[in-house]
């Protein structure tokens, strides 16, 4: 998979927001465990790694010459940082002021990438639709409101798969399965706003693949030195289910010496750990739909999210549908921005009454 991360220094092209409607900038944000994306009514689309770091001490601060580092740059400099990945299983971590501040800094950074510097005298009104996992919508909304207060003027929080469905105009007889790092989110669309019964969240997703891969590779090659970031890169470059397109051979240090190791079987087993829970949830949600509409939904299953790019995953899920009369599973064309683009579509269509005004007081 291509790495689309951007950091807070370098090639970010701070275009001026010239696509505003009567002084209003509409933005859609896909707030992800691993990556977060923003799409704006001024035509800007950016994505950052969802990492925020502060220098660990005065030496690190002197080297970095920054008080905070965000995105891919934070990953590169992590030995010098108090590093936070503030979204765990799609939720802002409970009880951690630092993680709450990390979410706030991440959101400020995304808005800055949209070409808006938030100052008290700013004439630009920012209306943001933020996509979150279905579980986060139920239990985490207040924390997210707090993180965005003073950063955006008006807010709407929606589930990520609903944002995907809206952007694709897949609003009737469809099932969206959005598989990211922290969660796999499901949403059945019946031509109206989805209810809690139409949606589901699993914690089996990209991070759980990484955990399995670290464990199995360590068991097979006990002297190999591994890090979660190294393993994630292997997965994103080579993930697959079914027969391997080629052997997956990677380099890792063994007692300090770079050594080639074959992780093909371990990677396949880790990726295939998704199939049973995702397949079972897909079938369960379809079975809850009124009988005459089930065939239409089976033929309109849409995969989105970075983990949906796992080679062979769509075909495997489609094969599960054969036992239930057949169906069609397709992967979105642009899994990086489909959620934020959908949020932007919601923002531009939403009436004034749907917006929640945030006060900085």
Nearest-Å Rg of the Cα atoms of the chain is: 21
**Do 221 and 123 lie in a common domain?**
no
Q: Which tokens sit at 100?
A: 């709450």
Give the model confidence (pLDDT) of 311-358 as tens digits.
999 999 999 999 999 999 999 999 889 999 999 999 999 999 999 998
- Is position 110 within any domain? yes
Helix (H) or strand (E) holding 163: helix 160-168
Partners of 53 in beta bridges: 69, 83
314-338 in b/e form (b: 16+ CB < 10 A) is bebbbebbeeeeebebeebeebbbb
Domain count, the chain: 3
12 domain residue, yes or no: no
**7 is written with which tokens?**
């950091």
Q: Which of 27, 15, 52 is nearest to 348 (CA)?
A: 27
- pLDDT for 226-272, tens place per residue? 988 899 999 999 999 999 989 999 999 998 899 999 999 999 999 99
Which one of 272, 302, 318 terminates a domain? 272
The β-bridge partners of 28 are 39, 129
d(Cα 353, Cα 351) in Å, to the nearest integer? 5
Task: Print the domain residue range for 278.
Answer: 172-204+273-331
Q: In whole angstroms, give the CA distance from residue 358 to residue 361.
A: 9
Scanning the structure block, which residue is given the tokens 């609903």?
Answer: 162
Q: Are 116 and 181 in a shared domain?
A: no
Stretch 19-33: mean pLDDT: 81
Residue 248 and residue 104 share a domain = no
Same domain (yes/no): 71, 141: yes
Q: Is the Cβ–Cβ distance between 331 and 303 less than 8 Å?
A: yes
pLDDT at 30: 93
Residue 120: is it exposed, middle or buried by C-beta count within 10 angstroms (0-12/13-18/19+)?
exposed
Same domain assignment for residues 33 and 148: yes
Residues 6 or more apart whose Cβ sits within 8 Å of residue 34: 49, 50, 180, 181, 182, 206, 207, 306
- For 92-145, the pLDDT digits (tens) are 766 668 888 898 899 999 988 888 765 555 567 899 999 988 766 666 677 788
325 and 189 belong to one structural domain: yes
Mean confidence (pLDDT) of the chain: 88
């Amino acid at each position: 998979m291509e790495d689309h991360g951007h950091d807070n220094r370098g090639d970010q092209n701070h275009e001026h927001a010239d696509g505003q409607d009567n002084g209003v900038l509409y933005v859609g944000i896909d707030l992800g465990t691993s990556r977060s994306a923003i799409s704006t009514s001024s035509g800007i689309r950016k994505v950052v790694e969802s990492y925020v770091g502060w220098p660990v001490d005065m030496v690190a601060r002197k080297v970095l010459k920054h008080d905070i580092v965000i995105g891919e740059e934070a990953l590169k400099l992590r030995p010098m940082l108090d590093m936070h990945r503030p979204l765990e299983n799609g939720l802002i971590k409970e009880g951690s002021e630092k993680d709450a501040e990390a979410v706030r800094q991440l959101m400020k950074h995304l808005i800055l990438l949209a070409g808006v510097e938030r100052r008290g005298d700013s004439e630009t009104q920012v209306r943001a639709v933020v996509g979150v996992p279905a579980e986060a919508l139920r239990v985490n909304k207040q924390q997210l409101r707090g993180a965005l207060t003073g950063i955006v003027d008006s807010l709407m929080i929606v589930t990520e798969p609903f944002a995907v469905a809206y952007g694709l105009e897949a609003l009737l007889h469809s099932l969206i399965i959005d598989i990211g790092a922290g969660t796999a989110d499901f949403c059945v669309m019946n031509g109206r706003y989805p209810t809690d019964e139409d949606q589901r969240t699993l914690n089996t997703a990209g991070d759980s693949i990484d955990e399995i891969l670290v464990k199995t590779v360590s068991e097979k090659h006990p002297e190999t030195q591994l890090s979660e970031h190294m393993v994630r890169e292997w997965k994103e470059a080579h993930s697959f289910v079914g027969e391997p397109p080629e052997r997956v051979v990677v380099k890792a240090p063994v007692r300090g010496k770079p050594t080639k190791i074959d992780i093909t079987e371990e990677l396949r087993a880790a990726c295939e750990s998704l199939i049973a829970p995702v397949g079972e949830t897909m079938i369960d949600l379809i079975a809850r739909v009124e009988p005459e509409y089930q065939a239409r939904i089976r033929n309109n299953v849409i995969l989105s999210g970075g983990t949906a790019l796992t080679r062979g995953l769509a075909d495997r899920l489609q094969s599960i549908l054969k036992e239930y009369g057949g169906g069609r599973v397709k992967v979105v064309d642009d899994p990086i921005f489909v959620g934020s683009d959908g949020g932007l579509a919601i923002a531009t269509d939403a009436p004034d009454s749907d917006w929640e005004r945030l006060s900085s007081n």
